[in-house]
Amino acid sequence: MALERTFSIIKPDATRRNLTGAINAKFEEAGLRIVAQKRIQMTKAQAGKFYEVHAERPFYDELCDFMCSAPVVVQVLEGEGAIAKNREIMGATNPADAAPGTIRAEFAESVGENSVHGSDAPETAAVEIAYFFAGLELVG
């Protein structure tokens, strides 16, 4: 399997509860390397652009309000098959459906406030990484 990079966000519900370290431990234990990371406060416009693909969904406005309600930690994770591996570590979108031991099973508060974002494909990973990071900020 190829070495890949994926984009990750530790969401406001998790930064508020000081879960950044516990979530990063899950990534590192699974063999993902954090090759870039910064804590930022998104504006609603920035969150809206990031989640543009969901603009027609009923939860879009609530999701954008949530994502700019507190700081987030944006990250680039690197590893063998990093995109699929991260989705596995995250667990299902709804924590009620997330497998035991996954981040969302352990930490998520609801289907909306579900602690982490992770890219779902190589194309989205590339776009999402470029939205938040300059090339020089990625240190493998």
Positions annotated as catalytic residues are 117
87 is in an annotated binding site: yes
In whole angstroms, give the CA distance from residue 113 to residue 107.
10
Least distance to ligand ADP from the beta carbon of 131, Å?
15
Q: Toward ligand ADP, which CB reaches closer, 58 or 140?
A: 58
Q: Toward ligand ADP, which CB reaches closer, 67 or 139?
A: 67
Residue ranges in contact with ligand ADP by CB under 6 A: 59, 63, 93, 111-112, 114, 117, 120
104 is in an annotated binding site: yes
Of 78, 110, 77, which is closest to residue 92 (Cα–Cα)?
110
In whole angstroms, give the CA distance from residue 122 to residue 4.
8
Least distance to ligand ADP from the beta carbon of 122, Å?
15
Least distance to ligand ADP from the beta carbon of 103, Å?
11
Q: Toward ligand ADP, which CB reaches closer, 66 or 133?
A: 66
Binding residues for ATP: 11, 59, 87, 93, 104, 114
